[in-house]
Structure 1
Amino acid sequence: MITLPSLSNQPSRRVPISEAMQVAQQLQAQGDVAGAEKIYKLILEADPNHGDGIFYLGMILCQSKRFDEAFTLLKRAVKVHPNVFEFHYNLGLIYESNNHFAQALECYRRAVELEPSGNAHSNLAKNLTDSGQLTEAIEFAREAIKRLPHNQRAIPHNNLGSALTLRGELEQGLENYKLAIAIDVENAFMHSNYLLASNYVAHADLTSAFEEHKKFGDKFESFIAKLYENPLAAQAKKLQRARTDHKPRIGYVSPDFYGHAVGQFIEPILATHDKTKFELVCYSDNQYTDDSTVRMKTLVSNWRQVNAMNDEDLAHMIQTDGIDILVDLAGHTALNRMGVFIRKPAPIQVTWIGYPNTTGLSTMDYRITDALADPVGAADALHTEKLLRLPECFSCFQAPKKSPDVGPLPALHNGFITIGSFNNFAKITPHVMGVWIDIMNRVPGSRLLLKNRSLDNPRLKELILGELCKHGADAKRVELRSPSMTTFEHLNCYNMLDIALDSFPYNGTTTTCEALWMGVPVVTLAGRNHVSRVGVSQMTNLGLHELIARDTNDYVNIAVALANDVPRLTALRGGLRERLKNSPLMNVTRFTKNLEEAYQVIWKKYLSETSA
C-alpha cells in the first residue's frame, strides 16, 4: 500500500500499488507529467523492484529530456525484469532516438528473442542495415513483412529496400521501395530512398528518371500546400526586401557535418569563405559528432543544432534568421530536409554536393555543378533547378591532415597487378562485376581487391564471392577486405592497389579522390548524366583524359593497357599526389572564390528582379 497525494476532488488516501499505477498512467496520459512522476516515485519507494514503476518513470524522464536519469532507470528495468518484451523494445526505441545505435541493436535483438513482433523485427532490420550487417537485415525485414498486416508493411519494405540496395541487389531493392511508397503515399523519406536508389540503374531512361523526381516535387509540394494556407515564400520575399543593403547571409543545411564524405568537402569551404563578404549559418541535422564537427563549429559564427526540430519549425527559424541563400547539402540522401526546402523559407535556394541529380522541387532555384559533370544542353532539360556551373569543378577535395605516404607500386614486389574498388556495393552491380572480372581475366595473374564497410560480415563475404565467381572470377584471386578502424588505416589500404576501377553508372567521388591522393590511377567510364560523369570532371581537371572510357569495351582496354605498362603505373604512382595538390580539385582558395562569385551573381539577379 502507498499513500496517494490529494488529487482533484479526492483527498489523500491509502491504495494498493496496482491502483496507484493506474492513477499514475492516467495522469501521464492526461499530460500531468509532474503528478505522474510523483506517484511513480512513491511506488518505487514502496517496491524498488516494481518493473512497470521503474520503466514508466524512466519514460517520463525521457519525455522531460532528463536522459541520463532516464537511461539509468530503463537499464535497471530490463536488468530487474529481463524477460519483458515491452521493456527491451521501448528501451531500443529510446536508444535509437538518442543516437545510441549499438545499444538499440542489442535491445531489439533481445526483444525479438522474447516475442516475434513484426515491429521489433523491422526495427532490428533497420539497425542491422545501418551497421552494415546486410544479410541479417534482409532476413529480419522479410520476417517483419510476414508478421505485419499489409497496411503496416511500409517500414519493413523500406528497410528491406535499403539493405538489398546496399548489397547490390538493386532490382529487388527498388521493388521494395515502390511497395513501401504504395502503402505510405505521404512518406517523403521513403520516396527519397527510392529516388536515391534509382541513380544506380544502368542504362536508365534519363527522361523517365527526371519525371520520377518531378513527381516527388509535385506530390509533396501539393501535400504541404494543402496543410498550410500561406506558404512562407511570400513572407520571406517581403522580409528580404528590407535587408538588401546587407552582405548576403548563406545558410548551409546538412545532416553530414562530421567525417562523412559531404563533411570532408564542405569543411575547407567553410574555412575559406570570405566572412567580410558573407555571413554564414550552419543548420546541423547531425546524428553523429566527431572531431570534424568540432572544427566546423569554429569556422562559422552561427551554428544551429536542428535535428530535434520538425520541418515547419526549422523553416520558420531559417526565415527568422534572414537567410538570403539557403544551400541544401543532402538532396534525397538520408535525413534530408526536402520538407524545409518545399516551404521556401529563403528567397534563393540551392542544392549542392550531397546528391548527383535534380531534387525535383519547383522551389529549388539552382543546382551547383560544372560543365563536365553536366554538359550544357541536355542536362538542363533534366532539372527543375537552373544549373549553376562553376568554372572548373563542382567540388574541392581536402586530404586528411594525417595521411600515409604513397608507397611503391605494389606490382613491383608482388609480381602481379592488383585492381580494385573501395566503393559501396550499391554501386557495384552484377554488370560492373562482370566488366571487372573481364579485366582481371585479361591480365594474367592479376588480383581483385574490394573493400567497404559491409565486408566485416562473413556471410556477406561469402555471397559476394559467390556472385563474383558466377561471373568467372577465380576465388583465389579475389580479396574482400573488411573496413578499417581509422582513416589513416583506410588510406593505407590504397597502397595495396595498382589500379582503381571507378563504379558505373554511379561513379565514386570521395573514393576517387582518396585513390588519386594515394597515387593510384582511376579508370572511369563517361556516362550521360552527373552521377556517371563525376569521374570525367575529376580526370579532366587532372589532365588525365586517357583514363576516361567511352564505353565498357574502352574501359576494359584502358585498364588492361595500364596493367601491362608497369613503367607508366610507376610514373603515375610517383606523381599523382602532387598533380592532385596542384589541380583545381584541391585549390580550395580558387574554388571558394568561384563559388562566392556564383552566389554573388544569383543574389544580384534576385535583387534586380525583386526591385523591378
Structure 2
Amino acid sequence: MKGSRKKSPPVGVRRSPLDPASLALMRLVEAVRYPEVEAAARRILDGRPSHPLALKALGFALIGQARFEEALPIVRYSLERNPDDPEAHNNLGIVLSALMRWDESIRCFARSLEIKPRDPEVLKNYGVALSRMHQWDEAVPYFLKAIEYHPGDYVEAIEQLASALLASNRNDEAWTCFNELWKNDRSNAAILSQLLTASLKRCDWDELEARLLTLRSLTADYRSLTDNPFVVLSFPGVCAEEQLRVAANFAGHSIPASVLDAPDLHLAVGREGPLPRSRLRIAYLSADYKTHPVGQIMPQVIELHDRAQVEVFGYSIGVDDHSEIRKRLSAAFDHFVDLRDCSVIETANRVRADEIDILVDLNGWTADGRLEALALRAAPVQVTWLGYAGTTGHPKLADYLLGDPVVTPLQHEHCYTETLAHLPNCYLPADTSIALGPPPSRHAAGLPDEGFVFCSFNNSYKFNPKVFDLWCRLLSDAGESCLWLSQPGGTAQDRLRKEFEVRGVDPARLIFAPRVEARADHLSRLQLADLALDPFPYNSHSTGLDVLWAGVPMVALLGDTFPGRVGASLLRASGLEELITTSPDEYHQLALALVRNPLRLHALRARLAENRRHCALFDMPGFVGSLEKVYLRMWNDHLQGARTPVV
C-alpha cells in the first residue's frame, strides 16, 4: 500500500443535467458541506416534495450529521420513489446500521449488490454490518471483494478486514494487515492499538514497549483512544483510570448518542409497592453457554439458585457447540432462550416481554457480547459480571458491577461508571462438581520425568516481556525445572521458544500442553504441576480456579487494576493469602523459596487439599446464597429509588 485515499462521503448523489438550483445543490454535495446541503435540499423540497435529487441529498446531509432517526423516513421515501437505485438501498442500510438494526441493514446492502454487484463501498458496508453481528468469518469475503474492486488502496476496508480477522483469532493474518496499515499511517492510534493486540496474541514483542509509549502519546494517555476496551486490559502500564477512559470512548463510539442520551423511561416507571409475584426474575445474558471459561464456571450458580426466591432465565446469544456443558447449562435454567439470531432490539424486547427484574450481562465488551441491548434498558436493574474484568464505560449500560473487596475495592469506585456490588469473597464462581481423577504419568502429559514443574495455562495475550523476564530468571535460578503452558495458536509457540533463547534458557524447558476434550482430564493432569505462576497485568481468572481446584498453589502479584487483582482474590478466598506478592522481586523470591523448600510447598498443597472441602472459594452453596442477597439488595434499592454500593 502506498498511501490512503481521502475517505469518501458516506453516500453519493449522481450528477445529471439539472436546473441551476439542483446544480448548486450538487456542488454543495461534492464539497461535503452537510448543513448547507440540508438547507438547499429543503428549499427545493418546499416547492417540489418528491424531487428525487433533493430527497437523496437531504438523506445524505442528515446521515453526514449523524441525525439517523431523522434520516430514516427521508431515505425510505427516497427509496420508494427510486426502488431500483442501488445508492438508495445502500443509504437505507447505512441508516439502519447506525441505529443498530444490522440485520435489516444487511438486506438493504444485499439488494444494492444485486443491482450493482461490484460496488466497493456497499461491499464494505455489508462486511461492517456482519462484523457488528459478530459474524466475522462471514464478513471477511466482503471486505476482500471491496478491496479488490476499489480503485487504489481502500484503507477503510483493509482496517475493517484486519479487525474481523483479529476478532476471529486469525491473529497472524490480522497482524500482517495492521502492520502494513501502521507503516503507512503512523498517526492512527486505533490501528496501533489493534496492532499491539495482535502482537500480544501472537507473542510478538518486538517494539512492544516503544509502541505502547507511542500509543500513550498519540492518545494523550488514552483520552482519545476509541478501540475496544477489552484489549487494553492486557496492555502493560495502563492504569484503571485509563481503562475507564477507553471504555467510555468506545461506548460513545459504538452506540448511537440518541440511545445513550434517551430518557430512561423503563427505569423511571419501576414497580411500586410489593412484588406482584413471589420470586425475583433474574436473567443471565451470555454468548458463552458452551465450552468456554465462562460457560465452564457457571453451571452450579444456575443449579443452586433457590427457586423459592428466584426464577432464572438464560439468554444465549452465542453458538450452540452441542457440548456437554451446553446441555448442562440449558437444562439448569428455568427458561433457556436462544437469541443468537435476534437483533439487538429484538433481544431487548424479549427481555422486557419476560418482565425480567435483574438482567446480568456476562460478556461486557468481550468479542461476542451484546451490550447494545443493555443500552436500550431492557430491565429495571442491569448488572455486568464475570466475562469482562472492567467497567462498561457508560452508566446507561449497567447499574452495578459485581466484584469483590479485592478486585474492586471501594477506593477504586471512581474508575467505574457502575455502582460497585461486592460478593464477600472472590467474585468468580467455580464448578466443584468435577471430581479429580488420578493424574496421568508425566511422560503421557509430555513432561520430563524429573524436575520441578511451573505452569501457567493462560491465553497468550497475557504474556509479555516483563512476565517472561521474571519467569526465565526463576527457571535459571531453580535448577532442573520447566514451564508448562497451554499450546497457543498460530506462530506464537515458536516465538515463545525464541524468547526463552534470548533470555538464556533452553527452549526445551518450555513444554506446551495440547488441548484435551474432557475438562476432567485437563484438571486431572494439572495435578502434575508443582507451582502455578500468575501472569500480570492480566491475571489468571478461570485458569487460576482450575489450578487451585487441582490442588496446585499459585504465586500472584497484586496489581492496581481489576484484571490484575484477580489472582490475589482467588488466593485470599482459598486461604493462601501468603502467596500474594506486591512486587516482581518478591514474586521471584517467594516462588524460588518454594522450589528450594519442598516441605513448605508440600504443606501448602496439603492445606489447599484440605481447604477445598470448606474454603470460601469452593463453597458454592454459600456463594450462590451471597449472590442472591446481593440481587435482593439491588432490587430493594431500586424500589426505593436509590442506588448505593452493595458491600
For normalisation by structure 1, the TM-score amounts to 0.72
The alpha-carbon deviation at position 433 of structure 1 amounts to 0.7
The one of 163, 167, 172 equivalent to 2:198 is 163
Distance 1:409 1:181, change over 3 A: same
The alpha-carbon deviation at position 412 of structure 1 amounts to 12
For 1:488 and 1:110, the matched residues in 2 are separated by 45
Per the alignment, residue 471 of structure 1 pairs with 503
Per the alignment, residue 314 of structure 1 pairs with 347
The DSSP-based 3-state class of the residue aligned with 1:331 is coil
Conserved? CA contact 2:259–2:375, under 8 Å:
no
For 2:579 and 2:394, the matched residues in 1 are separated by 35
Per the alignment, residue 326 of structure 2 pairs with 293
For residues 108-135 of structure 1, the C-alpha deviation after alignment (integer angstroms, 9 at most, x for no partner) is 9999999999899778756764665533
Q: Which sits farther off after the overlay, 577-586 or 264-273?
A: 577-586
Question: Aligned partner of 1:284: which letter?
Answer: S
For 1:384 and 1:98, the matched residues in 2 are separated by 25
Conserved? CA contact 2:266–2:380, under 8 Å:
no
The alpha-carbon deviation at position 335 of structure 1 amounts to 2.1
Distance 1:191 1:89, change over 3 A: closer
Q: How does 1:443-482 map to 2 (within 5 A)?
A: 443-454=478-489, 457=490, 459-482=491-514
Per the alignment, residue 135 of structure 1 pairs with 172
Distance 1:264 1:486, change over 3 A: closer
For 2:408 and 2:528, the matched residues in 1 are separated by 33
Distance 1:112 1:191, change over 3 A: closer
Distance 1:101 1:216, change over 3 A: closer
Alignment length, in residue pairs? 530
The alpha-carbon deviation at position 396 of structure 1 amounts to 1.6
For 2:219 and 2:340, the matched residues in 1 are separated by 24
The alpha-carbon deviation at position 302 of structure 1 amounts to 2.4
For residues 380-409 of structure 1, the C-alpha deviation after alignment (integer angstroms, 9 at most, x for no partner) is 222222211112221221046365424689
Q: Which has the higher helix share?
A: 1
Distance 1:401 1:114, change over 3 A: farther
Q: How does 1:317-356 map to 2 (within 5 A)?
A: 317-356=350-389
Per the alignment, residue 75 of structure 1 pairs with none
Conserved? CA contact 2:288–2:295, under 8 Å:
yes
Per the alignment, residue 422 of structure 2 pairs with 389
For residues 309-356 of structure 1, the C-alpha deviation after alignment (integer angstroms, 9 at most, x for no partner) is 333332233223222111111122112222222222322111111121
1:379 and 2:412 aligned? yes
Question: Aligned partner of 2:202: which letter?
Answer: R
Distance 1:383 1:595, change over 3 A: same
Conserved? CA contact 1:284–1:304, under 8 Å:
yes
For 1:412 and 1:319, the matched residues in 2 are separated by 53
For residues 441-478 of structure 1, the C-alpha deviation after alignment (integer angstroms, 9 at most, x for no partner) is 11112222222442xx3x33222222232233222322
Q: Percent same amino acid among aligned pairs?
A: 26
Per the alignment, residue 547 of structure 2 pairs with 515
For 2:291 and 2:613, the matched residues in 1 are separated by 21
Per the alignment, residue 391 of structure 2 pairs with 358
1:526 and 2:558 aligned? yes
The one of 500, 519, 522 equivalent to 1:487 is 519
Q: How does 1:518-597 map to 2 (within 5 A)?
A: 518-573=550-605, 576-597=608-629
For 2:621 and 2:131, the matched residues in 1 are separated by 40
Conserved? CA contact 2:162–2:178, under 8 Å:
yes
For 1:106 and 1:482, the matched residues in 2 are separated by 31
For 2:474 and 2:615, the matched residues in 1 are separated by 29
Conserved? CA contact 1:365–1:385, under 8 Å:
yes
Q: How does 1:76-155 map to 2 (within 5 A)?
A: 129=166, 132-142=169-179
Q: Unaligned regions of 5+ residues in structure 1, if any?
A: 1-24, 32-61, 65-84
Question: Aligned partner of 1:238: which letter?
Answer: V
Distance 1:28 1:527, change over 3 A: closer
Distance 1:30 1:538, change over 3 A: closer
The alpha-carbon deviation at position 210 of structure 1 amounts to 2.9
The alpha-carbon deviation at position 192 of structure 1 amounts to 5.9
Per the alignment, residue 465 of structure 2 pairs with 430
For residues 390-432 of structure 1, the C-alpha deviation after alignment (integer angstroms, 9 at most, x for no partner) is 1222122104636542468999983321213111121111111
Conserved? CA contact 2:390–2:562, under 8 Å:
yes
Question: Aligned partner of 1:244: which letter?
Answer: L
The alpha-carbon deviation at position 213 of structure 1 amounts to 3.1
Distance 1:163 1:483, change over 3 A: farther
Question: Aligned partner of 2:360: which letter?
Answer: V
The DSSP-based 3-state class of the residue aligned with 2:301 is helix
For 1:427 and 1:203, the matched residues in 2 are separated by 13
Per the alignment, residue 52 of structure 1 pairs with none
Q: Which sits farther off after the overlay, 588-597 or 104-113?
A: 104-113
Q: Unaligned regions of 5+ residues in structure 2, if any?
A: 1-82, 90-105, 109-119, 643-647
Distance 1:346 1:178, change over 3 A: farther
1:210 and 2:247 aligned? no
Per the alignment, residue 275 of structure 2 pairs with 244
